[in-house]
Amino acid sequence: MTDVQDPPSRNLALDGLRGLALVLVVLSHGWALWPGGGSGSNAPWWQVLRSGNLAVTVFLVAGGYLLIAGLMRLPSNGSSADYVRAVLRRVIRIAVPVLVLVVAILAVSVLDPTDDTPPSTTRKSAWAISTFTWNWYVQNSALAARADLGHLWYVSVFVQGVLLLTALFFMQRHRLWLFAATIGALLCLVIWWRAHLMTTEPNMVLTLLRTSTRIDGMLWGALLASTAPWWRRLQVPWHAVAITGLVVLLALTLTVGGSSSYFGWQGQAMAIGTVLATAGLAATDSALASRVLSIQSLAWLGQNSLTIYVWHYPVFFFVARHTGDWAWPARTAVGLALAGGLSYLLIRLVERPIGGWLRRSRWTRPGSSTA
């Protein structure tokens, strides 16, 4: 979801994959606008409409991969300042649309009479979101958290993952094999810990707010990127690898989306499917799968997924509060249009100018061709 780098040339197929994941996330939050019936259904369409957890796994794997791939392009003799600038660029890019939303929510809480969230809850939520500790706050104080901002747990986990992975890579940058081994060991530990909590913690939703259970996707992506110098030498049909990964993602989306099975091995299968798709798409750009995912609309959604992700959910809640007596098709149309319009304006007027400033500022501009 989050653009963690500005490489000299983008992989549009990876952008398209993230664009598809964004569509699934938006659909999974549509319950705020349309009727939520069929909660016990096993129909594929129902699974698709509840596949947000699976889609976020795609974001985390792709984000971890792009993060480490970008750091690997920094000069091998680079100073700590290069890595500090890299972290600043990423965190500021992520923080800007989030902080704009926080300001908007604070204003709405004062000006909108339909917003019945206690002011103290809004203030505490705003602080936790602004400090990227929101997932910890919701885990410990769910009843004192704004419901329309719940989806921002992902942003907190991602920023925490960026800091952790960047620090580990900096310390082991001269021994890539050691970094890969460290990530592999951490991944095994996280998978074990997640399985352990499944049997010992009663609330699975709170379990998946933990950084220690949700960072597995970023670790998978980091492992893929750090081992790229070796797996790219393999003489394998990479287009077939990409298609295999995409088929796995499709099968799980149609069967696991709204099921608690995601908490088990199916969640790791989604990560592995994303790893296969990412590896295949990164290794070739001529196969049919790459060309399909590279279509302009999907690639645009992937490139701009951060702002859309951050804003769509609270907009849905805002529209739902003001259109309670509307028919759900009209409410849905207005919600989607308002979320899309606001996101587009913010991308053009805020996100892109900030991105340009980050590339020019002496404090954040890259010391090489990477960002």
Return the residue matching tokens 């207005």. 334
Task: Report the mean per-residue pLDDT for the chain.
Answer: 90
In the numeric block, which tokens belong to residue 85? 């600038």
For residue 261, give the DSSP letter: G
Instruction: Give residue 265's pLDDT band: very low, low, confident or very high (50, 70, 90).
Output: confident
Amino acid sitting at position 292: V
pLDDT of residue 9: 60
Question: CA 211 to CA 158: how far, in whole Å?
Answer: 9
Q: What is the pLDDT of residue 214?
A: 93
- Helix then strand then coil, in percent of the chain rounded to 5, is 75, 0, 25
DSSP string, 287-304: SHHHHHHTSHHHHHHHHT
pTM of the model: 0.92
φ and ψ at 114, to 5 degrees? -85, -10
Whether pLDDT at 261 is above 80? no
**Alpha helix positions (H), 38-130:** 44-49, 52-72, 80-111, 119-130
Question: What gap in Å lies between CA 191 and CA 198, rounded to an integer?
Answer: 11
- The more confidently predicted of residues 206 and 38 is 206
* pLDDT of amino acid 231: 95
Q: Is the CA virtual torsion 30, 32, 35, 36 positive or negative?
A: positive
SS3 146: coil
**How much is the average pLDDT of 177-203?**
92
Distance CA 204, CA 139 (A): 11
Q: What is the dihedral of CA 54, 56, 61, 63, to 10 degrees?
A: 160
| Distance in angstroms (rounded) separating the CA atoms of residues 4 and 64 | 9
For position 3, what pLDDT does the model report?
A: 43
- Residue 290: the pLDDT is 87
Whether the predicted pLDDT of 371 surpasses 50: no
Band the pLDDT of 8: cuts 50, 70, 90.
Answer: very low
Question: Which amino acid does the sequence have at 80?
Answer: S
Per-residue pLDDT tens digits for 291-310: 889 999 999 999 999 999 99
3-state secondary structure (DSSP) of residue 314? helix
55 — pLDDT class (breaks 50, 70, 90):
very high
